[in-house]
Structure 1
Amino acid sequence: MQASKLIENIKFKRIVPELFEDFRVSLLTQDTREVIAGSIFVAIKGTRIDGHKLVQEAKKNGAAMIIAQEPLPDMTIPVVYVQNTNRAMAILSSFFYGASSQALRVIGVTGTNGKTTVTHIIEAIFSSLNENTGLIGTMYRKIGDEVLKTKNTTPDIITLQRTLNKMVEKGVSTVAMEVSSIALVQGRVWGIDFDVAVFTNLTEDHLDYHKTMAEYAHAKSLLFSQLGNKYAHSGDHKVAVLNNDDSLSKQLEEDTAAEVITYGIKNNAMIRATNVEIHGQGTNFDLTVFNKKYSVTVKMVGMFNVYNILAAFAAAYACGVSPEKIIKALEQFSGVKGRLQLLTSQNKVSAIVDYSHTPDGLLNALETINEFAKGKVFCIIGCGGDRDRFKRPKMGKIAVENSDFAIFTSDNPRSENPQVIIDEMLAGIPELKEIPTFIDRREAINFAVSMAQPGDIILVAGKGHEDYQIIGATKYHFDDAEEVKKAFELKEQMD
């Protein structure tokens, strides 16, 4: 695409110089490391890095044009000045990559907990229908069978548009995508044409960024308020899928122009689970879909996973998939790595690796385990550094009150002192108790495994699918599931 044609899509701009030699755009990027000859570099003013200070580097690497919102003196290549480079980047990337979301069925999932599991279940449902599917989220980006690494739950808008464009090229029809609250506030999904938006729940998280629960709730609401504002003649219009057991859903229903479908367990809903029975091998429940009842057996455990299943069911149902086909796919789905992932030793000690890194997520995981645990429950938990400090004492308190044996350790301490993080977790314990603490997470896992007896369950919480640990500014390989398996093997050798 020619540069002159691309920037026509920004209505309000100032070009310096007004007349410039046109060129074919090779790449649109906000990352100087990606810049090649013929690139357009978008200078984004971020919280840590200001792209305006990197324009000379971008020019040196081959950039032929800069998009900026602040004055750039002494530039010898064309500069397009706009009010907001984030918004300009969203507009330009949509047109540069062919507005690919409009050629796809895009299902966005937002909420504090459950996004990864819900998107994986949705992807599994449509894969079972022999569709070529895509997935974008915390663990990776997936295009058919191709897996790509990702930095954020929701990528930046250029990476997102590139990914969607590649999905179209590869014949993908349905995309399940996690949409984080921070991404919504930062405009990372501006221009994405969502067909279905799913809300899981709202509990405390990311208050280091949003500051208050009201701001956090508002961030989540943006996905629904931006969910189209027209009704297609064919009936193929937008749908909001809402958790009727979460109080925010009432507000979201008012915020959206889309049709609404509700799900739940406690309150009456269009799609509802009753008679839920959780056991060590899975969960059984009765599913009512607009007054028609079905019996469902799944391989996933936990009440919160029933909510995840209902959310995914409602999303697929909103897209016209029959209940029978959805249930068949659900019964074959075995779960997601790091989401209540069960590991068992030869001497019948069980470990569950889970991504429960919020107070609500940790409580849900422990309550689920306590429902079917026959022996003692151990809980290994840490809190991330440079993140929400308010939840640390709450996490400590939940771990102590809902397990027989709590062990505090490091998660991703980042630039913080790990011992300070642990001390802040200890502050949440109402009565002074002897809590084993290990700055080294591997030592914490080995200690729990050495203490556990047959029939006991060890919850290793907080990191889930992550295969790394960030200490200082360095990312080291560390996988909770791998470490548990090693600890099991070590104990078996010693016994």
Structure 2
Amino acid sequence: MVKKMQASKLIKCLRFKKVLPAEYEDFTVSLLTQNTKEVIENSIFVAVKGAQFDGHRFVKEAIQAGAKMIIAQERVAIDGVPVVYVENSKRAMAILSSHFYGNASQALRVIGVTGTNGKTTVTHLIEAIFRAQGEETGLIGTMYRKIGSEIFPTKNTTPDIITLQRALNKMVERHVSTVAMEVSSIALIQGRVWGVDFDIAVFTNLTRDHLDYHKTMANYEHAKSLLFSQLGNCYTGNGDDKVAVLNIDDPVGRQFQQDTAAHILTYGIEQPAMIRATDIKIHSQGTDFKLHVFDQVWPIRVKMIGRFNVYNILAAFAAAYAAGVKSERIITALSEFSGVKGRMQLITSTTGVSVVVDYSHTPDGLFQALKTLDEVAQKRVLCVIGCGGDRDHGKRPKMGEIAVKYSDLAIFTSDNPRTEDPEKIIAAMLTGVPGKSEVPVFVKRRAAINYAIKQAQPGDVVLIAGKGHEDYQIIGKEKRHFDDVEEATKALKLKEQADK
């Protein structure tokens, strides 16, 4: 429960401010929000200046809805309601929400996971490990927010500051012990995790993504580094110091060792890491490897396919190990984990054709998925791929090139075109196609999936890439129901009927 708090007491946590008028009628704060649609009587409204909306323009609307105090960084022309002027409204919002929601993260073990690929799988693996220890767990990420077994919808990989603090507070109320959280680069730059007391931070990898926002890879790397540079700067000696878990095979992971004061736990396959995998054998039922933990070695079999999933497993193992879970218990939990929806999700049928749905929406993610499937496919690998609209234009030719180069048959289609013309997106992908390769093109994603499965023969694997767990397609500004798993299942059933 959020404790009742007087406005005068709450704003004391803002050290540098100016309150106008200095004298005002105090009140018990009912809600802290930056959204006028949430405002109720006795709310505090924080006017945040963002890229698309400026909260200062909606102050009067907030007051009409019941706001009794305004936090602002620019002058607002209102009377009768106190305004707390600060240098940066967003920073003030982080400080206020942390206090208002009881500094919830300090009562939790919070494990943050950042990197281009693998965040969702690693957080689910971490959640499964701690749940297997009998703990109540929380999860925050791309697919949903989760408290115990209860699932809540989410808009962003990492929520806004207030939503995040509310969620953490709810987790404390529900006796959660460990929270696994995806931390996006955009969230780090925008300060959405300011005030969150991370205990362990995990880095998966860094490859091209989000350059529509960050513009350069250097900026993207800097954004990721913030999770580690902000990870605490003192050593208690009580065994609860902060830990940075780093993929040492990635040069950026090696660089992050210099960016953090935290204890460092490395993992990898190629480099001599503290936690390492060797003798990797990938097969249709999963992956086998030897797990080295300092001087100890265990054989391990997991139900997940691919070398990149070995990295995900190592990352999750290292996070749990850093938290003090015994190696044997971690291995047992990992061995029982069956995977995440839309992450190399296998759909089988009686036709002899296998379909894999995966979220691989970056050049490296697509390459890794195709490389993995090439190792396990009995015959050909077919690939259905598109690129999202209103996002990084530069990766489109690269995605097209990788799809054609590393599959036996690539089919280009729409992803989430958003406000762009899907044909122009596909045309940009085609500019990366090497030589005179001919690529079947279907603007309608359903038609592309049906075509791929019709073309597939026994022993072939069809990869449907890019959307993974998503059960929608964004066309224009409209979100329409569309699920790759559902569409593939329907197409396989039609193929089964045709084969009878």
TM range (shorter): over 0.9
Q: Deviations over 1:406-465 (max 9, x none)?
A: 001111100111011000000111213221111111111011111111111100000000
Q: How far off is 1:494 after superposition?
A: 3.1
Matches within 5 A, 1:299-338: 299-338=303-342
Q: How far off is 1:265 after superposition?
A: 0.2
Indicate which of 118, 129, 134 corresponds to 2:133: 129
Q: Which whole-Å CA distance do the structure 2 matches of 1:48 and 1:345 have between them?
A: 47
Q: Which whole-Å CA distance do the structure 1 matches of 2:176 and 2:366 have between them?
A: 35
Q: Which whole-Å CA distance do the structure 2 matches of 1:142 and 1:483 have between them?
A: 26
- 2:427 is aligned with 1:423: yes
The residue that corresponds to 1:487 in the other structure is 491
* 1:254 partner letter: Q
Indicate which of 383, 399, 402 corresponds to 2:387: 383
* 2:360 partner letter: S
Matches within 5 A, 1:15-414: 15-414=19-418
Shifted more, 56-65 versus 219-228: the winner is 56-65
Moved over 3 A (4+): none
Shifted more, 229-238 versus 252-261: the winner is 229-238
Q: How far off is 1:235 after superposition?
A: 2.0
Q: Deviations over 1:388-413 (max 9, x none)?
A: 01100000000000000000111110
Q: What secondary structure is seen at the aligned counterpart in 2 of 1:379?
A: strand
Q: How far off is 1:12 after superposition?
A: 0.9
Q: How far off is 1:13 after superposition?
A: 0.9
- 2:480 is aligned with 1:469: no
TM-score by structure 2 length?
A: 0.98
Q: What secondary structure is seen at the aligned counterpart in 2 of 1:254?
A: coil
Q: Which whole-Å CA distance do the structure 2 matches of 1:384 and 1:78 have between them?
A: 45
Q: What secondary structure is seen at the aligned counterpart in 1 of 2:257?
A: helix
Q: How far off is 1:250 after superposition?
A: 2.2
* 2:456 partner letter: A
Q: How far off is 1:492 after superposition?
A: 2.4
Q: Deviations over 1:115-138 (max 9, x none)?
A: 000000000000000000000000
**How many pairs are equivalent?**
495
Q: Which whole-Å CA distance do the structure 1 matches of 2:481 and 2:61 have between them?
A: 32
Q: How far off is 1:488 after superposition?
A: 1.1
TM-score by structure 1 length?
A: 0.99
Q: Which whole-Å CA distance do the structure 1 matches of 2:132 and 2:42 have between them?
A: 42
Q: Which whole-Å CA distance do the structure 2 matches of 1:259 and 1:473 have between them?
A: 45
Q: Which whole-Å CA distance do the structure 1 matches of 2:472 and 2:220 have between them?
A: 27
Q: How far off is 1:104 after superposition?
A: 0.3
* 2:34 partner letter: Q
The residue that corresponds to 2:437 in the other structure is 433
Identity of counterpart residues, as a percentage?
68
Cα RMSD after superposing both structures: 0.8
Contact 2:60–2:78, Cα closer than 8 Å, also in 1: no
Q: What secondary structure is seen at the aligned counterpart in 2 of 1:208?
A: helix
Shifted more, 485-494 versus 148-157: the winner is 485-494
Q: What secondary structure is seen at the aligned counterpart in 2 of 1:255?
A: coil
Q: Which whole-Å CA distance do the structure 1 matches of 2:11 and 2:438 have between them?
A: 63
Structure 2 unmatched runs, 5+: none
* 1:435 partner letter: V
Structure 1 unmatched runs, 5+: none
Q: Deviations over 1:369-391 (max 9, x none)?
A: 00111111110001111100110
Q: Which whole-Å CA distance do the structure 1 matches of 2:60 and 2:369 have between them?
A: 50
